[in-house]
Amino acid sequence: MINSSDIFHGKILIVDDQESNILLLGRMLRNGGYTSITSTTNPGKVCELHLKNSFDLILLDLQMPGMDGFQVMEKLKEIEKGGYLPVLVITAQPDHKLRALKSGAKDFVTKPFDLSEILIRVYNMLEVRLLHLETKQLCDRVVAEQKIAERLLLNVLPHSIAERLKGRPDFTADSFTEIIADSFNGVSVLFADIVEFSKFSAGVNPEILVGVLNDIFTRFDSIADNRGLEKIKTIGDAYMAAAGLPVPVEDHAICAANMALDMIEALNSFNEQSRYKLQIRIGMDTGPVVAGVIGKRKFLYDLWGDVVNTASRMESHGIPGRIQVTDFTRQQLSKPFVLEKRGVIDVKGKGEMHTWFLNSRDDF
């Protein structure tokens, strides 16, 4: 809301080649309550003074020797570069008014000066100036907040999904109404779980606990980015990622296998640096899934399908420090991956399944 005291503190520049006019206008404005008044009889110094003082209003005589008011306004346009600067032109020639408005003037006063007219027009123009500044600040704040909201959106959703949401007419930064759901025929899902993390967490304070998880999962996030997987979510000390969505790729199983092996290496590196002895189990499966966004305010990109459940079972029925994959995933992998047949195991909810261990990459 505009405060009248802000208007009376506006910085005003009076430009007129007649010293008597400057003295008269200055006295009128000071008697009217304005406290910040500068003047010059040299039109060539207007731009220099404005760059130094950032005036809120310029009272500009149009008829001056050497450089007239129209030329001054052209120079002001160059340094303002689209900004809003109120110029109140002073003229005794009625035919100059239209040209002055076309040249960038916002209003005009006529000679001889009328005290009431001067005070009203100056007040109105300074008020408009403040309103313009407030509007610009509000717009800048809205744009900044929108950018923050978009960054947050990209942090919780895949980029292509976030772009689709932003293109929906019903979408706002915190809600939308339509459903986004897609089917994928070929996806490889990876689950990882830190072994006996509950026992580990009982012996450390909360800050250390969160720091450990943050360090490990940040390393996993970096691997997902490098290997082209989409991090789906973390649940406690469990980490879920998928390859082949939201943009389908042919080598999704290879990408997921590379990530799984990188995760084992990353945790070993973490243990060497921290002197902890943590281990993870990793499980993988390959096949069709449905993926989409759930939630109206707290968005989550999630997956559904038998592949998701089976990959979770591969992890929970696995062995610490090893990567267990289904036969469907094994069929998608060949050299340079080295796999070891585990045999038939009884999987909860699935019955007997042939599974394999992904042991390493034969880089040579």
One domain, residues 126 and 186 = no
One domain, residues 123 and 69 = yes
Rounded-to-5 percentages of helix, strand, coil across the chain:
45, 25, 30
d(CA 65, CA 1): 42
Q: What was the pLDDT predicted at 300? A: 79
Residue 329: exposure state from Cβ atoms within 10 A (0-12, 13-18, ≥19): buried
**Residue 148, in any domain of the structure:** no
Q: What was the pLDDT predicted at 363? A: 62
**Residue 166, in any domain of the structure:** no
pLDDT in tens, 52-103: 998 999 999 988 888 998 899 888 888 877 677 789 988 877 677 777 777 7
**Residue 77, in any domain of the structure:** yes
What is residue 76's three-state secondary structure?
helix
**Residue 93, in any domain of the structure:** yes
One domain, residues 133 and 184 = no
One domain, residues 130 and 190 = no
One domain, residues 200 and 86 = no
Closest residue by Cα to residue 128 from 205, 200, 55, 56: 56
Q: What was the pLDDT predicted at 130? A: 86
One domain, residues 95 and 233 = no
Positions marked active-site: 313, 348
Q: What was the pLDDT predicted at 170? A: 53
User: Percent of the chain beyond pLDDT 90?
Assistant: 52
Instruction: Report helix angle 96-103 to 69-80, nearest 10.
Output: 20
Is-contact 46 69, C-beta < 8 A?
no
Print the domain residue range for 111.
4-139
One domain, residues 110 and 215 = no
One domain, residues 198 and 279 = yes
Confidence at 175, pLDDT banded by 50, 70, 90: low
Q: Would you state the torsion angle of the CA atoms of residues 224, 229, 233, 239, taken in this order, to the nearest 10 degrees?
A: -60
**Selected residue with higher pLDDT from 177 and 230:** 230
- Tell whether the model's pLDDT for residue 182 goes beyond 60: yes
One domain, residues 266 and 331 = yes
**Residue 161, in any domain of the structure:** no
pLDDT in tens, 273-309: 998 999 999 999 999 999 888 776 667 788 999 999 9
The total number of structural domains that make up the chain: 2
One domain, residues 42 and 108 = yes
Q: How is residue 100 written in tokens?
A: 């002055």
One domain, residues 98 and 232 = no
One domain, residues 102 and 8 = yes
Which of 92, 122, 139 represents a domain boundary (last residue)?
139
Confidence at 34, pLDDT banded by 50, 70, 90: very high
Answering whether pTM is above 0.85, one says no
